[in-house]
Amino acid sequence: MNPAGRDTAFLEQAYWIVLNRPPSAIELADQRLTHLNSDQVTLSRGLLHSNEFRRLRAAWRAGQETHADPAALERALVAIGPDPFFVERVYESLLARKPDDGGAAHYVGVLARGERRTNVARAMALSDEFETRWSAVPCDTQLCELANPAKWDNPEWMDLLRSLGLSDDRFSMHRKPYELTQFVYGCTRLGALTADAEVLSVGAGHEIVLYWLANRVKHVVATDLYEGYWTERRGREGDPSVLERPDEFAPFPYRQDRLTFMKMDGRQLDFPDNHFDIAYSLSSIEHFGGVDGAAQTIREMTRVLRPGGILALATEYALDGPPGEDVFQPHEIHQLIAQPGLQLVEPIDEAVWKRYSTVPVDVVHDPYRTPHMVVHVFDTVFTSVMLFLRKLPSA
């Protein structure tokens, strides 16, 4: 394997071996342009921990054919190269190691006797070694939690972080990239992030994830007031020019017809009932007029969600000190989400920062220090909380 980076040939071969398909243009661009600091083992780990691979492997275990054109898949695997090279690639992609002499000889011999390459790759994916290697290391998978450093040890989560074009450097971990990645991770694990999903963002600004979603779902509507303080400060997150020129804010190519920016107050959404599959807001509702304004926004987001839809929220959660401006106390968080028609998908892990020792970042005097997971403004210490709620069928 190439320890320094990922060459295009390895990328394409790994996708065929692991997912039985080529990478899309977007996936290939993501892997080539934003992941060059990661080795090829890391690529395979991301594919192997994907929901797509989990579904394929479950079907293979049940003896089901998963490819619409098995002959075409076999041709693609044959095109990878001679039998010994193919076996080496399968080992690297599925077991993250070079083949031992005995294993290589066995599989090369099996292929020489006429076995299909598809079956060899799938046999290795169902092997005891694969099960041991990829099930042995525990990963933090919880969704409703305070900003959690443990997510940087989850390969699937990290792959999503990189796909957003964000740094995977642990020393640069920051609660804002955490919010973006945890939102995508949660919606993916909950099965909500589908090709036909319609997504609403409230207090959207021009955040990266809007453009990322536009490449993956049916339609994204980004709403914000696009006025006041946020048009000039905090990185011009509320710059109104995005309403007319969204391309200027795009961090990468995106499907322009899938993303719409609208000037709208989140407390009074101009959409019909039961319209969206996902409604989310990341670190915005705390600016909507305290608990009352945030609660009204949540009720509006619930109204426009389809039954069974996902409401995802990130906001500021106080850990210590006196009440602070735009920071919710724990009891206020619980008050906010206790809205009719909503149910947490799981309990909130509010003990994350009882398990870690850290020095809070002074965001007034030293805002760029990292790691940037717990912060303080004067005596108020806080972090982010990520919440996923489902709209009840009866709501």
Band of residue 145 on the pLDDT scale cut at 50, 70, 90: very high
pLDDT tens-digit map of 92-107: 889 888 999 999 999 9
Is the confidence at residue 202, as pLDDT, over 90? yes
- Can you tell me the distance from the alpha carbon of 166 to that of 187, in angstroms, rounded to the nearest whole number? 18
Q: Which of 18, 19, 43 is nearest to 31 (CA)?
A: 43
Instruction: Express each pLDDT in 105-140 by its tens digit.
Output: 999 999 999 999 999 999 999 999 988 877 666 778
With a CB cutoff of 8 Å and minimum separation 6, the contacts of 203 are 223, 224, 266, 281, 282, 283, 284, 285, 287, 288
User: Phi and psi for 385 in degrees, rounded to 5?
Assistant: -120, 135
Mean pLDDT over each residue of the chain, to the nearest integer: 90
Interatomic CA distance for residues 8 and 150, integer angstroms:
31
> Strand 375-377 and strand 342-344: pairing?
unpaired
- Following CA atoms 193, 197, 200, 206 in sequence, which dihedral angle do they give, to the nearest 10 degrees? 70
Structure tokens at 67: 């490819």
Confidence of residue 338 (pLDDT cuts 50, 70, 90): very high
Q: What Rg do the C-alpha atoms of the chain give, in angstroms?
A: 23
Distance set, CA 272 to CA 128, 276, 303, 312 (Å): 52, 9, 8, 19
Beta strands in the chain (DSSP E): 145-146, 198-202, 219-224, 259-263, 276-282, 305-320, 342-344, 361-362, 375-377, 380-391
Which domains, ranges and CATH numbers included, belong to the chain?
Answer: 8-135 (1.10.3130), 145-391 (3.40.50.150)
Q: What pLDDT, on the 0 to 100 scale, is given for residue 39? A: 44
CA angle 70–75–81, rounded 5-degree value: 140
279 bridge partner residues: 200, 311
Q: Rounded to whole angstroms, how far apart are CA atoms 72 and 69?
A: 5
- pTM given for the model: 0.70
Task: Return the DSSP state at 164.
Answer: T
What is the structure's pLDDT at 111?
Answer: 96
Residue 283 has pLDDT above 90, yes or no: yes
Q: Is the pLDDT of residue 387 over 90?
A: yes
- In whole angstroms, what is the distance from residue 369 CA to residue 380 CA? 17
Give the separation between CA 17 and CA 124, rounded to whole angstroms: 10
- DSSP labels for 195-224? TT-EEEEES-TT-HHHHHHHTTSSEEEEEE
Work out the average pLDDT over 373-379.
96
Continuous segment of H or E residues that includes residue 119:
helix 117-125
Position 343 scores a pLDDT of 97
- What is the per-residue pLDDT for 229? 58
pLDDT at 27 over 90: no
From residue 327, give the alpha-carbon distance in Å to each of 292, 343, 352.
Answer: 13, 23, 18
For 52-63, how does the pLDDT look when each residue is reduced to its tens digit (9 = 90+)?
888 898 889 889
